[in-house]
């Protein structure tokens, strides 16, 4: 099956700093990538949908100026958490979809801890 990687797997940062998370599709071209957030014992919540070469579409309640998404190529999308605060601590997971595919392939996730 299709493989999606994320980097870093874990990151600890100080409050007020920015953190960038990378999501790559390793063996396919992903026209669409998705960013989710998952708090402990909760479901995955879609944050935004990113299409290559265009602006991301954010879900209601997600601040686009705080969570910057760039999808500059068909194999790479980045999520930057700007001015991170402790409440942004969470598990961030990306996924990618191949054209004409009926499912999404998920990355291994990035654990963010903001002190």
Partner 1 sequence: SQKIEQNSEALNIQEGKTATLTCNYTNYSPAYLQWYRQDPGRGPVFLLLIRENEKEKRKERLKVTFDTTLKQSLFHITASQPADSATYLCALDETGTASKLTFGTGTRLQVTL
**Binds partner 1 by CB under 8 A, chosen from 75, 95, 112, 114:** 95
Length of the chain: 115
Q: Name the E strands within the chain.
A: 4-7, 10-13, 19-25, 32-38, 45-51, 57-58, 67-73, 76-81, 90-97, 105-106, 110-114
Interface with partner 1 includes 70 (CB under 8 A)? Answer: no
**Binds partner 1 by CB under 8 A, chosen from 1, 54, 65, 87:** 1
* Measured CA distances, 35 to 10, 41, 42, 113, 115 (Å): 16, 18, 16, 17, 22
Q: x/- binding map, residues 20-59, to partner 1, per CB under 8 A?
A: ------------x-x------xxxxxx--x----------
Interface with partner 1 includes 101 (CB under 8 A)? Answer: yes
The size of the interface with partner 1 (CB under 8 A), counted in residues, is 26
CB-wise, 34 or 67, nearer to partner 1?
34
């Amino acid at each position: 099956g299709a493989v999606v990687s994320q980097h870093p797997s874990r990151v600890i940062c100080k409050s007020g700093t920015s953190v960038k998370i990378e999501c790559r599709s390793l063996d396919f071209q992903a026209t669409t990538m998705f960013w989710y957030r998952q708090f402990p014992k909760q479901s995955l919540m879609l944050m935004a949908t990113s299409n290559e070469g265009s602006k991301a579409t954010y879900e209601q309640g997600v601040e686009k100026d705080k969570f910057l998404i760039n999808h500059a190529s068909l194999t790479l999308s980045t999520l930057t958490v700007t001015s991170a605060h402790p409440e942004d601590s969470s598990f961030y997971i990306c996924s990618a979809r191949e054209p004409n595919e009926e499912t999404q392939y998920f990355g291994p996730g990035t654990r963010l801890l903001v002190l």
